[in-house]
């Protein structure tokens, strides 16, 4: 059965990544296009209701793109919509969440050293987080009209969410959960606000009426929100490759800091598209990343080596009990049909070859065993640390 889930992991992850590329690419393009628009050069275009135009060159040809202030005089056909990229990204992400985190919740979602939850309680918290994310975010958008104040409120909600999830779920799962919450806010914008606003414009033209410009504004505002949330959510979804972040004792604060820096970098590019080279934004973001890197660096303190010498036989016993259930040619831990990342600890040579990985993920960051599913103790981590220091 684990082999079946592995295929689900592969196929849904593949679909999720491809759909996300299409969605984020469209977001980047259309915000850049909006910011590149200039007043139409021809008076006749202004008379047709064109609010801005942009000349572009790509794929061996020139394009002239027009954007109407509200809507064209006659509804064009066909009219191309951009929505399934968002829907497919979210649906495939939920499917991936199910086959990886929910089906194997005891391994991926629950960490008894964080909170001793039942698997059903952990799944309920995760699903509830997605619902709460949209309800709170949409409520803030409807109540707070000033964009900077709204941005601060949404950021505060994300900070709170990161802290709460770090107190309830396994560290790696907490990062992905916060990313999924933000992704739900984004797809909610598309499904509940942006596309309905577009339909209001279309239906007004179909009735022969002049569309209300407020629908243009509402759709554009939520599109800009999504644009700023793209880099933060991408980091969260890629974070499982960086255990030094989610394995840190202040993992939630690291998540928030890197997400904020991602949004800040996105702001630079949005300004760049309107002709402002705010280089100091990139410089300050680079400084921010350096500050985070220095703040969370390994302490460098050497493990205690004054105790009895550690034999390889002792190390092997710990690894056989705590690591080999997953990292083996024939894993016994539920949810694994093959060794994660191809890392195996079946032989002495394999263990010694992976010594640095053991130090990074089991001693320095406590990121492994995943969710501490095999209940590695601090004493066992100290034993590994003394062996690694004596090599």
Looking at the structure, tell me whether residues 323 and 281 fall in a common domain: no
pLDDT in tens, 258-283: 999 999 999 999 999 999 999 999 99
Q: 307 pLDDT exceeds 70?
A: no
pLDDT in tens, 10-59: 899 999 999 999 999 999 999 999 999 999 999 999 999 999 999 999 99
Looking at the structure, tell me whether residues 289 and 378 fall in a common domain: no
Looking at the structure, tell me whether residues 274 and 240 fall in a common domain: yes
Which of 295, 322, 344 is where one domain is finished?
295
What is the tally of structural domains in the chain? 3
Q: Is position 202 within any domain?
A: yes
Looking at the structure, tell me whether residues 221 and 353 fall in a common domain: no
Looking at the structure, tell me whether residues 290 and 317 fall in a common domain: no
pLDDT in tens, 144-158: 999 999 999 999 999
Looking at the structure, tell me whether residues 126 and 180 fall in a common domain: yes
- Specify the pLDDT at position 304: 53
Q: Which of 275-284, 336-345, 352-361 has the highest mean pLDDT?
A: 275-284
Instruction: Quickly tell me which residue has 């103790």 as its tokens.
Output: 377
Which of 239, 262, 295 is where one domain is finished?
295
pLDDT in tens, 369-387: 876 778 888 888 888 888 8
- Specify the pLDDT at position 361: 82
Give the residue, 140 or 325, on which the prediction is more confident: 140
State whether the Cα torsion 235-237-243-246 is positive or negative: positive
Mean pLDDT of 323-331: 88
Mean pLDDT of 242-261: 93
Looking at the structure, tell me whether residues 250 and 351 fall in a common domain: no
Looking at the structure, tell me whether residues 118 and 176 fall in a common domain: yes
- Specify the pLDDT at position 390: 82
- Tell me the percentage of the chain whose pLDDT exceeds 90: 67
- For residue 303, the 8-state DSSP code is P
Between 35-49, 98-112, 277-291, 352-366, the lowest mean confidence (pLDDT) is in 352-366
Looking at the structure, tell me whether residues 241 and 337 fall in a common domain: no
Looking at the structure, tell me whether residues 281 and 326 fall in a common domain: no
- Specify the pLDDT at position 306: 54
**Are 256 and 159 in contact, with CB atoms under 8 Å apart?**
yes
Which of 46, 68, 90 is where one domain is finished?
68
Query: Which of 101, 142, 163 has the alpha carbon at shortest distance from 371?
Result: 101
- Concatenating the DSSP letter of every residue in 108-173 gives HT--TTT----HHHHHHHHHHHHHHHHHHHHHHHHH--SHHHHHHHHHHHHHHHHHHHHHHS-HHH
Q: 159 pLDDT exceeds 90?
A: yes
Q: Is position 306 within any domain?
A: no
Mean pLDDT of the chain: 91
Looking at the structure, tell me whether residues 209 and 353 fall in a common domain: no
Distance between CA 287 and CA 34 in Å, rounded? Answer: 30
Between 93-102, 128-137, 187-196, 295-304, the lowest mean confidence (pLDDT) is in 295-304
Looking at the structure, tell me whether residues 331 and 366 fall in a common domain: yes
Distance between CA 221 and CA 142 in Å, rounded? Answer: 12
In terms of residue numbers, what domain contains 45? 37-68
């Amino acid at each position: 059965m684990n082999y079946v889930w592995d295929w689900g992991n592969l196929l849904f992850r593949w679909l999720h990544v491809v759909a996300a590329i299409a969605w984020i690419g469209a977001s980047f393009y259309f915000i850049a296009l909006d910011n590149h628009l200039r007043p139409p050069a021809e008076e006749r275009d202004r008379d047709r209701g064109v609010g801005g135009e942009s000349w572009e060159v790509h794929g061996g040809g020139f394009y002239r793109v027009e954007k109407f202030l509200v809507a064209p005089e006659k509804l064009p056909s066909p009219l191309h919509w951009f929505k399934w990229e968002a829907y497919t990204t979210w649906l495939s992400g939920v499917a991936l969440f199910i086959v990886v985190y929910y089906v194997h919740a005891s391994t991926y979602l629950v960490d008894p050293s964080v909170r001793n939850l039942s698997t059903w309680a952990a799944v309920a918290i995760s699903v509830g987080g997605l619902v709460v994310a949209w309800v709170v975010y949409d409520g803030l958008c409807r109540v707070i009209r000033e964009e900077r104040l709204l941005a601060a409120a949404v950021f505060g909600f994300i900070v709170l969410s990161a802290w709460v999830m770090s107190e309830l779920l396994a560290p790696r799962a907490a990062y992905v959960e916060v990313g999924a919450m933000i992704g739900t806010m984004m797809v909610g914008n598309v499904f509940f606000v942006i596309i309905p606003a577009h339909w209001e414009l279309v239906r007004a033209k179909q009735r022969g009426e002049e569309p209300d410009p407020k629908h243009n504004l509402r759709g554009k505002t939520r599109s800009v929100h999504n644009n700023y949330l793209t880099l933060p959510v991408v980091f969260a979804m890629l974070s499982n490759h960086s255990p030094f972040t989610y394995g840190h004792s202040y993992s939630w604060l690291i998540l928030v800091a890197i997400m904020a820096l991602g949004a800040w970098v996105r702001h630079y590019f949005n300004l760049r598209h309107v002709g402002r080279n705010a280089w100091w934004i990139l410089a300050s973001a680079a400084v921010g990343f350096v500050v985070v890197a220095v703040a969370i660096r390994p302490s460098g303190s050497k493990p205690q080596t004054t105790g009895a010498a550690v034999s390889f036989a002792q190390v092997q016993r710990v690894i056989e009990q705590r690591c080999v259930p997953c990292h083996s040619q024939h894993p016994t831990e539920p949810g694994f049909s093959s060794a994660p990342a191809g890392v195996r600890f079946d032989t002495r040579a394999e263990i010694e070859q992976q010594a640095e990985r053991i130090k990074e993920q089991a001693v320095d960051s406590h990121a492994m065993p995943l969710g501490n599913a095999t209940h590695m103790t601090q004493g066992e981590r100290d034993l590994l640390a003394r062996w690694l220091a004596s090599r």
